[in-house]
Structure 1
């Protein structure tokens, strides 16, 4: 049980930081960035990339480098994407100082998807093929 808590703690902290950043901080308190770039979308992408990357890495370590692929994708991609959807719905219906945007959710999905694709690529590269010995 202690092993599970250790590997859940970092993704939970990252998730809490995302919640505070997207729901509790007033948009007027965010510093102005140079015009011409959608900084908000880049931040969403980055936050969900980090959340998924941390979740994927911790799940990989929890299972000693041999995660079950579908569960790994569930915890490292599907759960963060659902979390992003819930945050956008909370911004629309609960937090009056914030607004929900489909583009924010798309940036969340793309950040999580990028982390998943990198993790799958690295997993295939690191995983050593099992040799079949035939007699």
Structure 2
């Protein structure tokens, strides 16, 4: 494959950026089904460090969409904004409105995370 055959705009010598991983379902078992944003937030809290704890998020937020609720964190600004992040990456939690399935999604903007959820989510068999 020549460089002209590769997709993306990576600098020469670097491999192309891989596509995002598909959403990952959480463990199986009985799950509470949220009926509002407050209940979704309580379920989501179980999957993040305590708000305000050392290295923990500054806050947790909920974005409701047609199939569920997306719970995501905000993080305090780094002490040195020019340094690379200490813990790059992260994830968000989608909680299904119908059956309570919890799915981990990449740390994308809410609209992109919901789009990924729509593309890959398959209900659990429980």
TM beyond 0.5:
no
TM-score between both structures, scaled by the size of structure 2: 0.29
Work out which structure has the larger RCO, using CA pairs closer than 8 Å and 6 or more positions apart in sequence: 1
Structure with greater strand share of residues: 2
Structure with greater helix share of residues: 1
